Amino acid sequence: KNESQAIGLGYTLFMKDANGRGVRVEPSREFHNGESVRLALEPNVDGYLYIFDVENEGGPQMIYPDPRLDGGDNSVEAHVPIEIPSSEETDERLRWFTFYGNGGNEHLYVVVTREPLNGVPTGDDLVALCGTQKDKCPWHPSADVWAQVQDAAKAEVKVITAKTR
């Protein structure tokens, strides 16, 4: 492993069209109640992927890993694209993230790390937690864990946008 290599992440946002297919959309697009999205991600390092959602300045919740998807596994491989959630999920309801309820601002924090985040349940631990304490899922990080995520988000980030035709 090259620990000095900066962590990079390519992504594309897809929205479910009227025929159930994914079409590329800009991340800045305004979404409405009932619309669904999926992310295609490709990290440049082997590591671990986490996605946190914050709605209207509320508390964060972890939407990936999800105990219903791949047993809560969140490992990723360098230069291997991954769909979140996967279009190949057996349960069609788990193939998309769907917006529900009143309008607001949603912020997704997509985090790639070389090592698992301390204090964040994944894999069998996440499956067990959500199986026995359904009110704990989606999982909400403690203030300390969320501070780790926010500190990482403050790191210098270079954004390169590729336009597609």
The dihedral sign for the CA sequence 92, 110, 144, 116: positive
Per-residue pLDDT band at 161 (split at 50, 70, 90): low
| pLDDT beyond 70 at 165 | no
Q: Number of structural domains, the chain?
A: 1
Which tens digits make up the pLDDT trace of 122-136? 999 999 999 998 888
Is there a domain that residue 31 lies in? yes
Is there a domain that residue 74 lies in? yes
Q: What is the pLDDT of residue 79?
A: 97
Is there a domain that residue 2 lies in? no
Is there a domain that residue 164 lies in? no
Is there a domain that residue 4 lies in? no
| pLDDT beyond 70 at 157 | no
Q: What is the CA radius of gyration of the chain?
A: 16
Per-residue pLDDT band at 14 (split at 50, 70, 90): very high
* φ, ψ for residue 118, nearest 5 deg: -65, 135
Q: What is the pLDDT of residue 91?
A: 87
Per-residue pLDDT band at 57 (split at 50, 70, 90): confident
Is there a domain that residue 163 lies in? no
Q: What is the pLDDT of residue 144?
A: 92
Query: Does residue 138 have a cis peptide bond before it, meaning omega lies within 30 degrees of 0?
Result: yes
**What is the domain extent for residue 87?**
9-153
Is there a domain that residue 117 lies in? yes
